Amino acid sequence: MNTTTQPSPDTSTARLAFQLYAAIGIAVFLLMMVGGATLRATQAAWMPLAPNFAYQLLTLHGAGMVGTAGLAGAAVMWYFLRRHVPLSTGMFLAMLGLSLVGVVMILAAIGLGGYAGAWTFLYPLPAKGMVWGVHAAAGFAGGLVLIGVGFLLFYLDCALALLKRYGSLWRALGLNQLFGSGPLDKSHPPTVVASTMVIIVNVLGILAGAVVLIMTLVNLYLPSVTFDPLLMKNLIFFFGHVFINATIYMAVIGVYEILPRYTGRPWTISRPFLAAWLAITLMVMAVYPHHLLMDYVLPKWMTVTGQVLSYCSGIPVLLVTAIGTLVNIHRSGIKWDLPSRLLVFSIFGWSAGVIPAVIDGVVRVNLVMHNTLWVPGHFHFYLLLGLLPMLLGTLFWACTRSGWKESALDRAAFWTYGVAGTGFCLAFLFGGMHSVPRRFAVYDPAWIGIAQVGTVAATLVLAAAVILGLRLLTRLPRASLTA
Amino acid sequence: MQGLAWSLSLVLMAGVALIFLRVVAGASQPGGDAGTIAAAGYRWRDRLFWVVIVAGVAISFATLRKWPIPGHAAAAATPDVIVRAVGHQWRWELDRDTVRPGELVEFEVTSADVNHGFAIYRPEKSRILAQAQAMPGYTNKLQVRFDEPGDYEVLCLEYCGLAHHAMRAVIKVRADS
Ligand code: HEM
Ligand SMILES: [Cu+2]
Ligand SMILES: [Cu+2]
């Protein structure tokens, strides 16, 4: 928490860049939520959407949410990492610019071209959609490539700055301290550790994604060139798993940086903290076979790895970040306001969501739960109730230098979001228990009731999110890079 | 299995919620000594760590020692019947659709075009019995013993395009077949 020197200057361009990210992020999140709620209402038989339109919406919601989560997470990382090392505003804006071009391509692919191959573009579906053309699929894949390039530029800038300051990523990750015998240098910022982890895993993840997207593009235009579908599946899930997890690991920087300013108790590194981040770095990359437990042609050891590492991946979150948060706030005299509520709640959402995720990673459970609503159940838990409050809490805090005066409306919106959001996720999990498939545009009569409960909850979440989003947008002019 | 997963998740998630609520309720009162609280918290953390590790080893052994996916292992039992199941956009092609209760059925699951998911639902339709991915170029073997006679519906559980939700088949389990 060294604020005496600011390695990256607080220019008006930098401030504007941050505000752009925040404004676009909020707007897209809200739009995608409307899309998600519409989809749930379709499953509830309350909306007469044609299946092809519903699957286009599913593709849009998935890609839009994941992409925006990535950008907003990167904005949190940039916001705090630039206090420790000099970061370029140009590269930060280049990521946004490339992403926006990518988004336009994706929107055109879905809206004009009718692409509905889901955000996971599982090979060879993009080329065999039957209802969409080659150019639509290529537009979608090309859009994702551009977004990926934007992220790579940003991470490159961050990596160079970290290398200049710390000499190696090994030191930036604190591994020289973890494996050294001397006392820890407590001034080494957790933000630097988390950012380094994200750079390592996400650069590899995005590169794998770029490779598989280019292979997909080749196959689209040269159908005689085909690839091994199992290899493609491995690459896609490696990329997808790493990317979506990296969004949370970027956003959690907000918790590490902000909560201590409320409680007056610094969040410093310790050996368990460094060990946890090293473990996460390795496990986030190695755990993706838990998406492939139902692919019996894979070697047995991969299935076992998938189950065992899924379990292990939950440990650092629960034991280091969740307990760290509780220890930080316990009897600290914390002042509850919107940012602090959202940040603490986000750690709850993340920790709780890990539980059904780990349970689904058990092969015996996966055999009967894979690709049911159990899956969106657990990931909406840690995305809607973990990641999003983390991002919102950080943004609110960045716009609240003079202190947030909390209104009754804020409190109502917060509690509605939390309670209805939990209900929304539980309705998915309940559907999973009853083997309701995920990604179905049309429901069998027995499943409709659950979807209706989910839709009511989704509408409440949406209403609360609109209130929070508008509050944030009106405060955005006050955003400060040195809050 | 599904019921157990649900109950266990609810109990553990409620546990996490209670711990958070308890700490949150007292957080705005000042006066806690940061050092003492950290020491106590980290003592808990270290204990929990070992509990979680021991539980993890136990769970892994309990759930993996007997291989959980019948058919997916070199030592699989010899089946009484083999059914070839091929996914197409958007229908299942089964080379036979009637089997007897109690016999060991091996499904050889593959696809003619894109990825599909071959999931067998119990007759009451609210529980999956077992599933496997249907992937072009590969054959996943899944062994199932149907204990009860009835109509078992097959649904596609891997998104495969426009009529994904309508891609179905029925396996008839009949004592007199
Ligand atoms: C009001 C809030 C939200 C609603 C109503 C909503 C609704 C939905 C629905 C109905 C589905 C399809 C489930 C299925 O049948 O498989 C879905 C999928 C998904 N959602 Fe959300 N969602 C919301 C928030 C979010 C957030 C905040 C994120 C991420 C940051 C997110 C990411 C995703 C992803 C990645 C998928 C999977 C898409 C796919 O299966 O291809 N959602 N959501
Ligand atoms: Cu299918
Ligand atoms: Cu399908």
Percentage of residues of chain A with pLDDT beyond 70: 98
pLDDT digits (tens, 9 = 90+) for A123-147: 999 999 989 999 999 999 999 999 9
Assigned token pair, A116: 């509905």
Yes or no, beta carbons of B162 and A439 under 8 Å apart: no
Q: Once rounded to an integer, what is the mean pLDDT over residues A431-441?
A: 97
Q: How far away, in angstroms, is A370 Cα from ligand 2 center?
A: 15
Residue A345 falls inside a structural domain:
yes
> Does the predicted interface ipTM exceed a cut of 0.90?
yes
Total domains in chain A come to 1
* pLDDT value for B30: 87
Q: Is residue A5 part of a domain?
A: no
| CB of A119 shorter than 6 A to ligand 1 | yes
What are the beta bridge partners of residue B84?
B108
Q: Is residue A394 included in any domain, yes or no?
A: yes
Is the Cβ–Cβ distance between B79 and B106 less than 8 Å? Answer: yes
The reply to whether the predicted model has a pTM over 0.90 is yes
pLDDT at B76: 76
Q: In terms of DSSP bridges, do strands B81-88 and B116-121 run parallel, antiparallel, or are they unpaired?
A: unpaired
Asked if residue A1 has pLDDT above 60, the reply is no
CA distances from B3 to B47, B121, B132 (A): 30, 15, 21
| A4-42 tens-digit pLDDT | 467 888 899 999 999 999 999 999 999 999 999 999 999
Residue A238 resides in a domain = yes
Please tell me which residue of chain B has the smallest CA distance to A53: B162
Spatial CA neighbour of A47 closest among A56, A37, A62, A60: A37
**At a CB cut-off of 8 Å and minimum separation 6, what does A315 contact?**
A276, A279, B49, B52
A321-341: burial string, b at 16+ Cβ within 10 Å, e else = bbbbbbbbbbbbebebbbbbb
In tens, the pLDDT along A395-429 reads 999 988 666 778 899 999 999 999 999 999 999 99
- From the CA of A131, how many Å to the nearest CA of chain B? 8
Look-up: residue for tokens 């800038």?
A157
Ligand 1, from A26, A291, A380: best to mutate by most atoms within 8 Å of Cβ?
Answer: A380
Amino acid letter at A200?
A: I
**pLDDT tens figures, A88-106:** 999 999 999 999 999 999 9
- CATH number of the domain that A138 lies in? 1.20.210.10
pLDDT for B46 beyond 50: yes
Residue A3: the pLDDT is: 46
In chain B, what are the domains?
2-64 (no CATH), 81-173 (2.60.40.420)
Question: What three-state secondary structure class fits B16?
Answer: helix
Compute the half-sphere exposure of residue A44: CA atoms within 13 Å on the CB side of its CA.
21
DSSP letter at A128 equals: G
- Give a yes or no: residue A160 inside a domain: yes
Q: Which residue of A has its CA nearest to B159?
A: A439
State both tokens at B32. Answer: 């806690």
Give B-chain residues touching A322 at CB under 8 angstroms. Answer: 16
Pinpoint the alpha helices (H) of A189-322: 190-221, 229-263, 271-286, 300-315
Q: Give residue B176's pLDDT.
A: 80
In a domain, A416, yes or no: yes
Environment of ion ligand 3 (residues, CB < 5 A): B 116, 156, 160, 164
Cis previous bond, A124, omega within 30: yes
Residue A247 CA: which ligand 1 atom is closest? Answer: 30
Asked if the Cβ–Cβ distance from A372 to B6 is below 8 Å, we say: no
pLDDT at A2: 42
State the closest ligand 1 atom to the C-alpha of A461, by its place in the atom list counted from 1. Answer: 1
| Enclosing domain of residue A417 | 12-478
Tokens of A196: 């380094």
